[in-house]
């Protein structure tokens, strides 16, 4: 296996230096940063540390940033890619568990922030985000028929088979892609697995308007998934 760490950044100057210093470099064959048009000193900090970097001239959204990063990683002959966020929110001590799932031939590995009851709250997750994520996951799990406690984590791993299967799909450019790729993977019968993960939620907030968009989008994708099962393929399921 050749496993590459993909670090996604956007205006991450306060965190990226610490993330790059703490990343367990011996775990990975290569580390690549993908920047989404940062307007602060993020790019300069990465370049000073001599990490491989691909960058956009403008902010195109999480989805676009992830895909440009994945393409670069698999062009570099990666067999698997681990997604790491440049804000340092996710605890990287669970990377070995993800590697074990790769060895078991899983194609999409998702972190599970709720592997222990109330653990996410102990780590600082606001109550409205905690229960909001549970509701979103319930909607997504029922809609897709996929048993899971957490369908919206940022800690993820991808196989080459995953990328080759979904790379021509026209996903959303923003954060909506995070659920879309799960739905598409499940529809294509790719192997999906889950590993524990923990977060630091210090200072993390989410506006109510964003939550409403997430609920509506999740329900919509689930509806399209159900149509696709019966042969009526629209949107990402074409």
pLDDT tens readout for residues 49-104: 999 999 999 999 999 999 999 999 999 999 999 999 999 888 899 999 999 999 99
At residue 89, the pLDDT reads: 86
**If pLDDT is split at 50, 70 and 90, which confidence band does 235 have?**
very high
Average pLDDT of the residues in 24-36: 96
* pLDDT at position 208: 65
The pLDDT of residue 133 is 93
Q: What is the mean pLDDT of the chain?
A: 94
Is the pLDDT reported for residue 206 higher than 70?
Answer: no
Joined together, the tokens standing for residue 113 give 């922030």
**pLDDT surpassing 70 at residue 112:** yes
141-159 core/surface letters (b: 16 or more CB in 10 A; e: else): bebbebebebbbbbbbbbb
Per-residue pLDDT at 6: 98
Q: Which residues contact 127 (CB under 8 A, 6 or more apart)?
A: 121
**179 within 8 A of 151, measured Cβ to Cβ:** yes
Record the tokens describing residue 195, joined without a space. Answer: 């590993």
Cβ(18)–Cβ(84) below 8 Å: no
Tokens of 166: 């979904």
> Residue 142: which pLDDT band, with cuts at 50, 70 and 90?
very high
The C-alpha atoms of residue 21 and residue 14 are separated, in whole angstroms, by: 13
Is the distance from CB of 50 to CB of 61 less than 8 angstroms? no
H helices of 76-158, in order, are 95-103, 119-122, 127-144
Of 105 and 90, the structure prediction assigns the larger pLDDT to 105
Average pLDDT over residues 207-224: 89
| 154 Cβ contact partners less than 8 Å away, ≥ 6 residues apart | 83, 85, 89, 90, 111, 178
- pLDDT for position 199: 87
Q: Over pLDDT 70: what percentage of the chain? A: 97
Query: Under DSSP, is residue 132 helix (H, G, I), strand (E, B) or coil?
Result: helix
Predicted local confidence at residue 207, as pLDDT:
67
Tell me how far apart the alpha carbons of residues 88 and 174 are, in angstroms, rounded to a whole number. 20
Q: What is the mean pLDDT of residues 159-169?
A: 97
What was the pLDDT predicted at 88? 87
Distance CA(172)–CA(224), nearest Å, equals 14
């Amino acid at each position: 296996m050749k496993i590459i760490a993909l670090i996604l950044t956007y205006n991450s100057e306060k965190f990226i230096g610490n993330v790059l210093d703490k990343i367990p470099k011996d775990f990975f064959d290569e580390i690549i940063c993908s920047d989404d048009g940062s307007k602060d000193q993020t790019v300069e900090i990465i370049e000073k540390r001599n990490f491989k970097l691909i960058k956009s001239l403008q902010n195109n959204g999480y989805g676009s940033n992830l895909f440009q990063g994945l393409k670069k990683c698999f062009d570099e002959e990666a067999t698997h890619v681990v997604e790491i966020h440049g804000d340092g929110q996710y605890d990287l001590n669970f990377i070995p568990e993800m590697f074990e799932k790769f060895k078991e031939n899983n194609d999409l590995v998702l972190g599970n922030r709720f592997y222990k009851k109330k653990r996410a709250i102990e780590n600082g997750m606001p109550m409205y985000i905690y229960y909001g994520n549970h509701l979103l996951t319930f909607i997504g799990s029922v809609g897709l028929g996929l048993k899971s406690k957490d369908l919206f984590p940022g800690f993820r791993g991808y196989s080459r088979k995953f990328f080759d299967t979904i790379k021509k799909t026209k996903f959303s450019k923003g954060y909506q892609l995070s659920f879309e790729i799960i739905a598409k993977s499940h529809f294509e019968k790719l192997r999906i697995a889950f590993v524990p993960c923990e977060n630091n939620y210090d200072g993390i907030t989410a506006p109510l308007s964003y939550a409403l968009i997430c609920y509506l989008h999740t329900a919509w994708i689930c509806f399209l998934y159900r149509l696709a099962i019966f042969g009526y393929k629209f949107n990402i399921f074409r």
